[in-house]
């Protein structure tokens, strides 16, 4: 490699998110610039949260906030900060008429009733890991509203079903900060360059390997898992697969997307419907994984996540997601176990 400084200066910087969105705008179903602006607003909020995460240890943003969210979970200080930052960015952007957040009981009206989109989000997934420097993330899902423009949005705008998403993705705050999203035309990833304050295209066409050798699940729930799940996990161990689980959905999912693997949060005796939230965790990640060539199912019957009918904004679901052949294997395990019972 040349050490000539002139050569180094001549190297291209890369494609920014802004430039990429402009170039691809014609692929959007409604190419009016509104969805493009919405993606920019999400990216801006991601930059702000990246800053807050990086300085959390120095700005007293670690630890519990002292309240519970609608899920009955203890809110962390950064949960609250992330929620405020994303809501503010989406309100100021003007394209979202309403927001559904994990941290809020009710739909948040932005006051932008002329806006044509609604956004469902988990502002900060994996926040229990904040204090120990484990990667965390933001998950988002975008729908084109179905209620009349000019009126307040309703829950019907959010309960259209996973197949109606027009964009979805996540921001991962880790050793590098990445924005990964789809608009139904494949999956792209952008890495944040701190010194320039820009997201640059780093993964232009993300495709998950069809097979993998990594499984991610909380084995602490082993005895609460259905028999077919335990059977599948035992088979993974017999094959010498690697177990990796950090407890941040975005982080474990991102690993599987890049390297091939499977993430499981099956039903348990305590939570027979599953634990993860359908609208702002399962739906967006399932949309994205299918666009990357993977699969996502909810149960032993192999029901695709995107085919589940949502009836409540904070509905929970089980989730098995990742490399297609690995997802098929756990479905086969369920079938075989059922025949033996």
What is the per-residue pLDDT across 52-91, written as a single tens digit (0 to 9) for each? 888 755 445 454 544 555 555 556 778 888 999 999 999 9
Binding site feature residues for Mg(2+) = 102, 122, 124-125, 281
Instruction: Go through the domains of the chain in sequence order and give each one's CATH number.
Output: 12-203 (3.30.540.10), 214-340 (3.40.190.80)
d(CA 20, CA 29): 16
Confidence (pLDDT) at 59? 47
H or E element in which residue 108 lies: strand 108-109
Largest distance between two CA atoms of the chain = 71
What sign does the dihedral 198-204-102-129 (CA atoms) show? negative
- pLDDT value of position 318: 96
Report residue 36 as tokens.
């493009």
The CA-based angle 191-192-195, given to 5 degrees, is: 140
Alpha carbons 134 and 247: distance in angstroms, whole number: 9
Q: Which residues are annotated as a binding site?
A: 102, 122, 124-125, 218, 245, 263-265, 275, 281
Low-confidence ranges of the chain (pLDDT < 50): 1-2, 58-59, 61, 63, 65-66
Q: Positive or negative CA dihedral for 327, 329, 330, 332?
A: positive
pLDDT confidence of residue 320: 96
Please state the residue numbers annotated as binding site for substrate. 218, 245, 263-265, 275
Give the pLDDT score at 6: 53
pLDDT for 69 = 54
- Number of other CB atoms surrounding residue 340 within 10 Å: 8
């Amino acid at each position: 490699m040349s050490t000539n400084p002139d050569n180094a200066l001549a190297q291209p910087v890369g494609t920014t998110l802004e430039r990429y969105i402009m170039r691809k705008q014609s692929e959007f179903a409604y190419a009016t610039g509104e969805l493009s602006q919405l993606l920019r607003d999400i990216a801006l909020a991601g930059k702000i949260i990246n800053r807050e995460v990086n300085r959390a240890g120095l700005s007293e943003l670690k630890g519990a906030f002292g309240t519970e969210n609608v899920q009955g979970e203890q809110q962390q200080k950064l949960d609250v900060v992330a929620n405020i930052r994303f809501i503010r960015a989406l309100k100021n952007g003007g394209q979202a008429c309403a927001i559904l957040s994990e941290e809020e009981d009710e739909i948040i009206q932005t006051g932008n009733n002329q806006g044509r989109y609604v956004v469902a989000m988990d502002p900060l997934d994996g926040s229990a890991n904040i204090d120990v420097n484990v990667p965390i993330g933001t998950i988002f899902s975008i729908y084109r509203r179905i209620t009349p423009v000019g009126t307040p949005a309703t829950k019907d705008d959010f309960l259209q079903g996973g197949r109606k998403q027009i964009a979805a993705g996540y921001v991962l705050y880790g050793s590098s900060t990445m924005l990964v999203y789809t608009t139904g035309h494949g999956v792209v990833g952008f890495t944040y360059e701190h010194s320039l304050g820009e997201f640059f295209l780093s993964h232009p066409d993300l495709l998950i390997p069809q097979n993998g050798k990594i499984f991610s699940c909380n084995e602490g729930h082993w005895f609460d898992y259905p028999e077919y799940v335990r059977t599948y996990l035992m088979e993974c161990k017999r094959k010498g697969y690697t177990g990796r689980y950090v407890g941040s959905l975005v982080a474990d999912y991102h690993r599987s997307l890049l390297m091939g693997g499977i993430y499981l949060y099956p039903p348990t005796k305590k939570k027979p419907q599953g634990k993860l939230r359908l609208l702002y965790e399962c739906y967006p990640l399932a949309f994205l994984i299918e666009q990357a060539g993977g699969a996502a199912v909810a149960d032993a019957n192999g029901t695709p996540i995107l085919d589940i009918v949502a009836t409540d904004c904070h509905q929970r679901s089980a989730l098995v997601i990742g490399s297609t052949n690995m997802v098929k294997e756990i479905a086969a395990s369920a079938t075989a176990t059922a025949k033996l019972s």
